[in-house]
């Protein structure tokens, strides 16, 4: 049976509405299932309406693979906690849940980034020119993806040591927290940006050459104009 062109990802406190191929639900996944059981999928708008569920649309995500493109409407159901819906964390491990549903769940998980603004006594900000990834050839603040078991305070200290060879101590300031979805893929990034101070010389840094080609001090205004990351710009503007 072909998959609908548009489905709805309804989620409430980690519970997701799944239906079977006939649009009947709610259905529950079975972790570790590998047989040829009937496919479970996300429902269509008409199937949700037939269940009498009201919901509020949040955004649209486009998922494309295997010569299939599906629009996934992310929404919040206006109901009490749905005890009999599928646990979000159980869906990924059931081979009978359609890949579109599993991909929608995967994309809905926040990507966490931890960064740091290192300033000197002149009020300048330390930035590095990156050599790989999305921002190759651009200036960014030290930092990156957090490890799975890592607090953001620890993540930016680790990343700074790895990228610049600099062991920093964070100030007591609260981090600047920003969140953004940048494309129709629907992947959400959350960034924690901390503060630190250092008055050393650039010659003291030990750059991770395959990742950082150059380090430099900039005024907050110039740093914000050079930064290409939405999160860096938001954080640097707080220094003005």
Q: What is the pLDDT of residue 135?
A: 79
Q: What is the pLDDT of residue 132?
A: 80
Q: What is the pLDDT of residue 1?
A: 63
Which runs of E-coded beta strand occur in 108-211? 111-119, 125-130, 139-140, 143-145, 176-181, 188-197
Tally of helices (H runs) and strands (E runs) in the chain: 6, 12
Q: What is the pLDDT of residue 66?
A: 78
Residue 75 CB-half CA count within 13 A:
22
d(CA 112, CA 110): 6
* Residue 234, phi then psi, degrees to nearest 5: -60, -45
- Edge-to-edge strands, sheet with 86-87: 55-65, 68-77, 6-12, 15-16, 86-87
d(CA 122, CA 139): 20
CB 193 within 8 A of CB 117: yes
User: Per-residue pLDDT for the chain (240 aa), expressed as one digit of tens each?
Assistant: 689 999 999 999 999 999 999 999 999 999 999 988 889 999 999 999 999 999 999 999 999 987 889 999 999 999 998 999 999 999 999 999 999 999 999 999 999 999 999 999 999 999 999 988 777 899 999 999 999 999 999 999 999 999 999 999 999 989 999 999 988 788 899 999 999 999 999 999 999 988 899 999 999 999 999 999 999 999 999 998
Domains and CATH numbers, the chain: 6-107 (3.90.79.10), 111-237 (3.90.79.10)
d(CA 186, CA 73): 10
Selection from 15, 39, 40 nearest residue 27 by Cα: 40
CB 19 within 8 A of CB 27: yes
Structure tokens at 85: 């819906």
């Amino acid at each position: 049976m072909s998959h609908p062109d548009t489905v709805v990802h309804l989620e409430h406190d980690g519970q997701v509405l799944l239906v079977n191929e006939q649009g009947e639900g709610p259905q529950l996944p079975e972790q570790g299932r590998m047989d040829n059981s009937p496919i479970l999928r996300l429902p269509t708008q008409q199937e949700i309406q037939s269940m009498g569920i009201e919901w509020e649309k949040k955004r649209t995500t486009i998922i494309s693979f295997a010569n299939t493109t599906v629009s996934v409407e992310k929404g919040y159901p206006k109901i009490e906690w749905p005890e009999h819906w599928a646990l979000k964390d159980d869906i990924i491990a059931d081979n009978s849940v359609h890949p579109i549903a599993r991909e929608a769940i995967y994309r809905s998980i926040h990507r966490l980034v931890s960064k740091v603004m290192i300033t000197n006594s002149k009020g300048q900000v330390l930035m590095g020119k990156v050599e790989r990834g999305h921002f190759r050839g651009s200036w960014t603040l030290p930092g990156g993806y957090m490890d799975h078991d890592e607090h953001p305070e620890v993540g930016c200290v680790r990343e700074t040591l790895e990228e610049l060879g600099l062991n920093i101590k964070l100030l007591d300031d609260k981090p600047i927290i920003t969140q953004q979805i940048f494309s129709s893929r629907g992947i959400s990034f959350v960034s924690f940006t901390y503060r630190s101070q250092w008055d050393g010389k650039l010659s003291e840094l030990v750059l991770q050459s395959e990742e950082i080609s150059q380090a430099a001090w900039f005024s907050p205004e110039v740093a914000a104009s050079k930064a290409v990351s939405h999160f860096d710009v938001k954080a640097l503007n707080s220094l003005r």
